[in-house]
């Protein structure tokens, strides 16, 4: 659920997301025609229920891919929290480059639309 007084962004599909970066990712997944869900709950041992940014179906292989965008990497507390989250993903069989995509940005280095497009092309040919 969304906190009060936090800006919301709306995708071309009409869904509410938490950041401009998530909007870019969602819009490009939608344009590519990929079936995805935003913040779909996933139960992980050691963490309970987590909400990855995107859960995407690779149609040809029927494999589920998770996509986490880490967008506040300038914040030390955020980095530590998400480093721990990645250990939980590893313990549950989710590995970047295999069945998980991780992207990063911070105040200085924003998300680049062309990089997201090429990432989608790479994983969802």
Model pLDDT, residue 74: 87
DSSP 18: S
Q: What is the pLDDT of residue 4?
A: 64
Q: How many other CB atoms are found less than 10 A from the CB of residue 85? A: 16
How many angstroms separate the most distant Cα atoms in the chain? Answer: 41
Q: What pLDDT shows up at residue 7? A: 74
* Residues of the chain below pLDDT 50: none
pTM of the model: 0.89
Residues 99-113: pLDDT tens digits? Answer: 999 999 888 888 889
Dihedral, CA of residue 90, residue 95, residue 100 and residue 104, to nearest 10: 80
Q: 């995509």: which residue's tokens?
A: 101
State the DSSP string of 65-119.
EEEEEE--TT-HHHHHHHHHHHHHHHHTT--BTTTEEEEE--SSS---HHHHHHH
């Amino acid at each position: 659920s969304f906190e009060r007084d936090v800006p919301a962004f709306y995708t071309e599909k009409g869904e509410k997301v938490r950041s401009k970066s998530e909007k870019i990712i969602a819009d490009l997944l939608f344009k590519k025609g990929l079936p995805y869900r935003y913040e779909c709950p996933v139960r992980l041992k050691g963490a309970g229920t987590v909400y990855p940014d995107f859960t995407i179906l690779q149609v040809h292989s029927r494999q589920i891919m998770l996509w986490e965008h880490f967008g506040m990497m300038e914040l030390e507390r955020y980095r530590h929290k998400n480093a721990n989250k990645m250990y939980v993903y590893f313990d549950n069989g989710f590995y970047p480059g295999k069945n998980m995509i991780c992207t990063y940005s911070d105040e200085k280095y924003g998300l680049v639309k062309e990089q997201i497009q090429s990432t989608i092309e790479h994983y969802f040919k």
